[in-house]
Structure 1
């Protein structure tokens, strides 16, 4: 049982790492947050985008089970 829990935790960490990488890639492509060019987007707006993407990622993880 402990081995199964450990495996589940490792999978969750890997999924979280993948999600963060995908968020950073999306931000880079959209040129928002730290990837913005010439200050086109404020840090507050970029943070809102990150929060929204995080909520969607978490909702998707719960949906997948």
Structure 2
């Protein structure tokens, strides 16, 4: 399974959080505005990053800007 290797995978790129204003979900616990994160996988709608919990999480691209 690919998702089992994401944590040890070389990051694709880095992104920075620009906001944590979510309509349905609470993301402010897992993302910090202004902090940069390594992207381990990307889809059309989501970035999979290693978040503040130390685990890989998927978040909408609208929370980030590319560096």
Which structure would you say has the larger Rg? 1
Give the TM interval when normalised to the shorter protein.
Answer: under 0.3
Which is richer in strand? 2
TM-score normalised by structure 2 residue count: 0.20
When the two structures are superposed, what TM-score results if normalisation uses the length of structure 1? 0.21
Higher relative contact order (CA 8 A, sep 6+): 2
Structure with the larger helix share? 1
